[in-house]
Amino acid sequence: MNSNTQQIPAWWQDLQRSNPILAAENARERIQRLMRLREAILESEEAIRQALHTDLGKPAMESNLTELLPVYNEIKHFKANLHRWMRNRNVGPHFPYLLSSGHIQYQAKGCVLLIAPWNYPFQLAVMPLIAAIAAGNTVVVKPSEHAPATTALLSELLPKALGDDVVKVVSGDGHVGTELLKLPFDHILFTGGERVGKIVAQSAAAELIPYTLELGGKSPVYVDESAPLEATAAKVYWGKWLNGGQTCIAPDYLLMNRSMVPLMAEAFRVASSKVQEGEQAGGPSLCQQIHAQHADRIRDLLQDAVAGGARIEVGGRWDDQGLRLEPTVLSGVTPGMRLMNEEIFGPILPIVGVDHLEEALAFVRNRPKPLALYVFARNPKVMQRWAMESSSGSMCLNDVVIQISHPDLPLGGVGASGSGSYHGRYGFETFSHARAVLSNPHWPNLTSFFYPPYTPFKAKLAGWLMSWMR
C-alpha cells in the first residue's frame, strides 16, 4: 500500500498554505481540533482494536491499555493545560535592561513530519500528532508499512477528523520515507531503530532541519539484594509479556548478584505459572511477533545463546505458527553472546550475574546509554547511586515501563537511545519555537552610551560595567 510519491510535493504545498491559519489559532480553537480527534477515535474504537489484532495479534485489553488509553489521557492533559502553555512567558528585568520588557512567545514551527513505528502503530503515530496539532502545526504522518491494517485505518481516520488541509497520512515503504526526507519540513520526529534513525538524522542535518529521535537500545534492570524477588519477577515478567516484548523501553536484560540468580529464576517460574493459569481461564493474551522475519531473528538469538551455554529457566516455547514466543528467561548468559550485543525487542530476558554493585554500574556505563533504566531495591543508598552514577533516557524505581504513561514526564532518549523528547508540555515545546521578544522604550536610550565613537569616558564607563558584572 504505497502512496503515489509524485503527489507528495503537492500534498506538502497544501499543508504549507494552511500553516499560517493554524499558527494563528488560539488555545480554544486548537483544543476543539483535539476534541474532534477524540470523538473520531471514540467512534472507531472497535475498528482500531481489530486493526491492531490483525497486525500484531493484540488482545483487546492490551490495545485498550497501551494504544487507546495513553491517547485519551494525552488529549485530556492538553485540554487542561494548553491555555497556560501557550501564554507568553515574561522574563524578569536584568541590568542593563531595567527599562526593557521581555517575554518568550511560543510559535508553531510550521509543517512537521512524524515517522511512526510498527510496534505500537496507533499510539506512536497519534501521540506526537496531538502535540504537533496543539502547537499549531500542519502534519505529515508516515506510519509503518509493517502494520498495514493500522496504517489503512489512520489514513482514513486522521484526515477525516482533523481535515485534509491539516494532516496528510502517507503510506508506503522505505522508498516513500526517502522521498519525504527530501522535503524541507520544519521538524521531524522519528520513532524506530538506530539504523534508520541515523539516516533520518543525516537527511535532516543536510537541510538544517531540527529533529527528535526516539530510538531504543538495551534497557537494563538491576535487582539489588534488598529487593523482594517475587514482586520484582512479576513486574519484569509483565514488562517482557507486554506487546510480545516489542516495546522500546522493555526490560532488555537483568543484572544481579550471581548468588541470587537461582532464587530469581524460581521467582520467574512462579510469575510464569500465575500467568499460564490465567491464560487457561481467560484465553490468550500474548501478542505475536510482527512478522516471520522478526520471529526468526528472535529464534536465532535464543538458539545462539543456548548453543553458547545459556540455560532456559522459563518459557522457550513457540506456538504452531511460530509468531508467538512465551516470555523466556535465560541464565548463564555471557556478555559476548549476540543477545547481549543487539537490542532484543522480543520476549527474551537474559540474566547476567555480577559480584557487586560497582560491577553492575560499570557494566551499564560501559555500554551505549539506554532509553530506560530499571532499579529494584529497598536500600535508598543503592537507588541514589544509580541515579547519580548512570545515564539513561528515563529511570524507573521498583517497576518497569509505567514511566511512559505519566503525563508530566518526558519520553526521550540520550546518546544512542535518541535525542529530544515529547509527551505533554515537552511535546508542545518540541513542536514550538520559543521566540525571544524584547521591547525597549524610545527614551531614554541607555544603550546610546556605547555607540561609537568610543571616547575615553565611554571606555571608562564600559570598564566600570565589566568590573561590576564580573
Q: What positions carry a catalytic annotation?
A: 214, 248
CA 186 and chain centroid, separation:
20
CA-CA distance, 448 to 66, in Å (whole number)? 60
At 299, which amino acid appears? R
Alpha-carbon Rg for the chain in angstroms: 26
Supply the angle between the helices 69-86 and 123-134 in degrees, to the nearest 10.
10
At 38, which amino acid appears? R
Strand 328-331 and strand 311-314: the pairing is antiparallel
Q: What does the DSSP assignment read for 325-342?
A: B--EEEES--TTSGGGTS
Nearest Cα residue to 178 out of 115, 109, 111, 248: 115
Is residue 83 classed exposed, middle or buried when 0-12, 13-18 and 19+ CB atoms within 10 A define those classes? middle
CA-CA distance, 36 to 157, in Å (whole number)? 11
CA-CA distance, 467 to 300, in Å (whole number)? 68
CA-CA distance, 125 to 44, in Å (whole number)? 16
CA-CA distance, 307 to 339, in Å (whole number)? 12
- Residue 342 dihedral angles phi and psi, to the nearest 5°: -130, 150
Q: What does the DSSP assignment read for 372-433?
A: EEEEE-S-HHHHHHHHHH---SEEEESSSSGGGG-TTS-EE--GGGEE-EESHHHHHHHTEE
DSSP 318: B
Characterise 463 by phi-psi region: left (phi > 0), alpha (psi -120 to 50), beta (else). alpha
Are 217 and 242 a contacting pair, CB within 8 Å?
Answer: no
CA-CA distance, 60 to 53, in Å (whole number)? 8
Write down the residue that cell numbers 569616558 correspond to. 457
Q: What is the dihedral of CA 177, 212, 28, 90, to 10 degrees?
A: -150
How many Å is the maximal CA-CA distance in the chain?
Answer: 90
